[in-house]
Amino acid sequence: PTNAKDAFGDSTGWAWARNSPFRYYKQNQFEGGISTPAIVHWPAGLKLPPGSIVDQPAHLIDVLPTLAEIAGAEIPGGWQGRELRPVSGVSLKPVLEGRRLADRPPIHLLFAADRGLRDGDWKLVSFQSAAWELYNVAQDRTELNDLAQQEPDRLKKMVRMWHDMAENVLHASKQSSSPVNQESRPPHRHREWTNFDAMGPDEYVRRKNTSNTARGVTPGRSRRIRARKNTQLRIVGNELQLTFTGDDPGIAIDLRGRQLSDGPYQLTFKLKSAADAEGEFFYTTDAKTTLPKGNRISFPVKSGEQWQAVRIDIPDTKRLYQIRIDVNDGPGMASIAELELQDKAGQTRICWPDAK
């Protein structure tokens, strides 16, 4: 922006356009998110003609080994009695001298839930932990022809390599290297992205009948229960064990990824609570409204060791998009079991946490 008071969001169409012809940007491990030109100015040392363009891939981790070799410095293997992990990169000095790198280890890529691996001409990539995709970037620089099905052996080898490097080189957390969602495939969607293919306001949030990994509305995520702030959730069988550590606790479920008929509905569950309280049930009936905005229904919560049967009639004739259940208003404990959403005919449409 030319005006200091203006700000442009980075999850917009123009943000993608600036990376053309590559796809996506920043966090994504597709070329639009990671391919950045490096400019080297070293008149006394470069052996290449001015203005030369080199197409050999490199990474930020290569900078230290390069400078160390140029300066004749030794990279220490320890410091103050502590053994240091080996530097992962390689020296780019041969490239600066106009030669090609004889060999280099694969370039490992990981940012949040996005993953990638560059090994020679081949590139492995996963969008938001969706199914792995495989591209020959020497022939398909814009990553439009996924070869995962045609190259199953290469795919498996590179996936194993990615996990090995994640554990032994990057020392990433187990969560970062959890299995990808094989059911989630293109077209890619993200909760912060504009869906330009949307035909209406409901689809603007998530286009129907697509499989993707957009956080908040992924297939399967509409079955999952999210613990709200000040709430610890433990699932044991079909029982939700809740521990509340502060104000405004509860659980929430996003139904935007579900195919649901119009209301009215009934929500039923069994409840055990350590304290008497006024429970609250919130729900929304359009894609734009977010909780706790929307509609509210209260219900009594009785303390005790016996299960309390709770039935909440939802009279609205529109379909549900998000729901939230608060069974306490402060610190305490409670358990919910046999949580079910039923349609106007009394048929169970969804049950938690074992919904399929």
Question: DSSP string covering 171-205, please?
Answer: ---TTTTPPPBTT--SSP--TTS--TT-SSHHHHH
Residues 164 and 239 in one domain: no
Residues 252 and 348 in one domain: yes
pLDDT, residue 13, reads 64
Residues 155 and 240 in one domain: no
- For residue 155, the tally of other CB atoms under 10 A from its CB is 18
Query: Is 196 domain-assigned?
Result: no
Determine the Cα–Cα distance for residues 57 and 63; give it in Å rounded to an integer.
13
Structure tokens given for 3: 């005006």
Per-residue model confidence as pLDDT tens digits over 24-63: 887 899 999 899 899 999 999 999 998 999 989 999 999 9
CB 189 within 8 A of CB 214: yes
What is the per-residue DSSP string for 43-99? TTT--SPTT--------GGGHHHHHHHHHTPPPPSEETTEEPPPP-----HHHHTT-
SS3 category, 342: strand
Query: Is 206 domain-assigned?
Result: no
Determine the Cα–Cα distance for residues 303 and 279; give it in Å rounded to an integer.
12
Burial class (CB in 10 A: 0-12, 13-18, 19+), 23: middle
CB 132 within 8 A of CB 109: no
Q: Which CATH number characterizes residue 297's domain?
A: 2.60.120.260
Determine the Cα–Cα distance for residues 148 and 276; give it in Å rounded to an integer.
56
Residue 93 CB partners (closer than 8 Å, separation 6+): 66, 69, 70
pLDDT, residue 221, reads 40
pLDDT, residue 210, reads 41
Determine the Cα–Cα distance for residues 57 and 34; give it in Å rounded to an integer.
11
Q: Which CATH number characterizes residue 83's domain?
A: 3.30.1120.10
Cα atoms in the 13 Å half-sphere on the side-chain side of 12:
5
For tokens 């293109």, the residue is 186
SS3 category, 230: coil
Structure tokens given for 341: 């959403």
Number of independent structural domains in the chain:
2
Residues 132 and 20 in one domain: yes
pLDDT, residue 184, reads 73
Residues 323 and 239 in one domain: yes
Residues of the chain with pLDDT under 70: 1-15, 190-224, 354-356
Residues 163 and 19 in one domain: yes
Residues 28 and 128 in one domain: yes
Per-residue model confidence as pLDDT tens digits over 80-100: 889 888 888 999 999 999 999
pLDDT, residue 59, reads 94
Q: Which pTM value belongs to this model?
A: 0.55
Q: In what order do the strands lie in the sheet with 251-254?
A: 226-227, 251-254, 322-326, 277-284, 295-301
DSSP category for residue 145: S
Domain around 102: 13-168
Determine the Cα–Cα distance for residues 135 and 146; give it in Å rounded to an integer.
5
pLDDT, residue 324, reads 94
267-306 burial, b at 16+ Cβ within 10 Å, e below that, comes to bbbbbbbbbebebbbbbbbebeeebbebbeeebebeeeee
Query: Is 83 domain-assigned?
Result: yes
